[in-house]
């Protein structure tokens, strides 16, 4: 059965999700064991949410901004990202690359690249996140994030950001309903929109990993 998709569209003059800014050091916690990647279900079986951002910049400029180190701001309900730690050899970005993601609330998760495609017409970047330690994600077995960037006009880029969630086995109907109404329909879209809604000064600030 196809799960519902919640979609929001934001037309901005910004450079999309900001991948950079000073962040605290990120290190594996004591006793950390790199976990195996979960098996990913067909996307139509997962709960999904999408936010979009129209940027008044060409695709090449947006792609350069997307290659900067990761930093995500916290919102009222969800933690941001304070830093990352590579769990695989080489830079993050190729298929199979893995990293630990440290959150601003002290929790962490593991992230691995699933797909990366790019051409003059656009790009697609897909990754899976799991091993969440934050109580906010206690119902989530794993999540698949995906950025799709296309250029509808020479000086405009459409950034589409989708998250697809697999819930933990044995979750009751009341818990699933609460997850949908609180997390999926309200808290997580707000978090996504905050990351897309950047001031130019923030996007141009010095970046450190």
pLDDT in tens, 130-164: 999 999 999 999 999 999 999 999 899 999 999 99
Domain annotation covers residue 39: no
* CATH number, domain containing residue 71: 3.30.530.20
Domain annotation covers residue 139: yes
What pTM was computed for the model?
0.83
pLDDT of 8 above 50: no
Q: Mean pLDDT for the chain?
A: 84
The DSSP line for the chain is -PPPEEEEEEE-SS-SS---S------PPTT---PPPPPPPPGGGSEEEEEEEEESS-HHHHHHHHTSPP-B---SSS--EEEEEE-SSS-BTBTT-EEEEEETTS-EEEEEEEEEEEETTEEEEEEEEE---SGGGTTEEEEEEEEEEEEEETTEEEEEEEEEEEEPTT--HHHHHHIIIIIIIIIHHHHHHHHH---HHHHTS----
pLDDT in tens, 110-124: 999 999 999 888 999
For 14, the domain range is 5-18+47-202
Q: Please state the domain count of the chain.
A: 1
Domain annotation covers residue 33: no
């Amino acid at each position: 059965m196809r799960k519902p998709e919640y979609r929001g569209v934001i037309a901005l003059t910004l450079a999309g999700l900001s991948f950079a800014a000073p962040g605290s050091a990120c290190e594996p916690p004591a006793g950390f064991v790199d976990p195996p990647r979960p098996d990913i279900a067909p996307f139509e079986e997962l709960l999904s949410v999408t936010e979009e951002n129209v940027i008044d910049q060409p695709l090449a400029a947006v792609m350069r901004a997307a290659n900067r180190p990761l930093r995500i701001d916290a919102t009222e309900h969800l933690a941001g990202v304070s830093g990352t730690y590579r769990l695989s050899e080489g830079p993050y970005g190729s298929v199979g690359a893995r990293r630990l993601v440290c959150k601003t609330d002290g929790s962490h998760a593991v992230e691995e690249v699933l797909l990366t495609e790019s051409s003059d017409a656009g790009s697609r970047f897909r990754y899976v996140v799991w091993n969440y330690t934050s109580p906010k994600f206690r119902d989530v077995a794993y999540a698949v994030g995906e950025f799709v960037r296309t250029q509808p006009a020479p000086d405009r880029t459409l950034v589409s950001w989708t998250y697809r969630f697999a819930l933990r086995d044995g979750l009751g109907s009341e818990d699933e309903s609460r997850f949908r109404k609180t997390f999926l329909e309200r808290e997580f879209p707000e978090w996504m929109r905050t990351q897309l809604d950047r001031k130019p000064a923030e996007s141009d600030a010095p970046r450190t990993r």
